[in-house]
Amino acid sequence: GGGETDYFFILSSNAACMMFGSFLLGIYVDRGPGRILPAYVGTAVLTVVGSVLYALAGSVRALGHIRTLLVARCLVGLGASNSMLCMIFLGEAVRPEDRQKWVIRFGITRSQGLFWGPPLGMALAAMSGGQEEGALFGANAAPGWFQAFATAVATAALVATWQDLPEGPVAAAHEPARSP
């Protein structure tokens, strides 16, 4: 259910939650070292929970309400605020002369996700079959399940390969010495 205005409100709320989440993450990460990974994992959990709720809203009659979609997309918006953590990490881990290429790489991958995500969601919905009542993996639920799965796998890979940075900004150690 829901009308066009409801869906525009949901999308606007998603964006507002992402901006608010970025603000909160910035405060949290600035308060000390070693906070990037816990912040990322926490926001990934929000994304997974929001995506599962979105998927269930498309398949469980009791959750099939516009308010459920609003809560789900707000959770995903808060979770998506983790994209700014990449820029913080790059500032701490990459030498100044290499930052530009890594910022560009991040921008390209983020843009590709924003470009290909909606068509992939439509393709998943089309391939998943009809919208049978109570179909847990029906057309309305497939994009949410996929996003939850992809986020969980990417977060597990990040946690498994994470290496803490040494104390202090790594990039500052790579600054060329200035002559007097």
Q: What is the pLDDT along the chain (180 residues), one digit of tens a residue?
A: 678 898 899 999 999 999 999 999 999 999 988 899 999 999 999 999 999 999 898 778 888 889 999 999 999 999 999 988 888 888 888 888 898 998 898 888 888 888 888 888 778 777 776 666 556 666 778 888 888 999 999 999 999 998 877 665 554 554 444 444
Which residues are within 8 A (CB) of 122 and not within 5 positions of it... i.e. 6 or more apart?
Answer: none
Output the pLDDT for position 134: 56
Amino acid letter at 21?
G
Positive or negative: CA dihedral 35, 41, 45, 50: positive
Task: Look at residues 137, 147, 149 and name the one whose alpha carbon lies nearest to residue 58.
Answer: 137
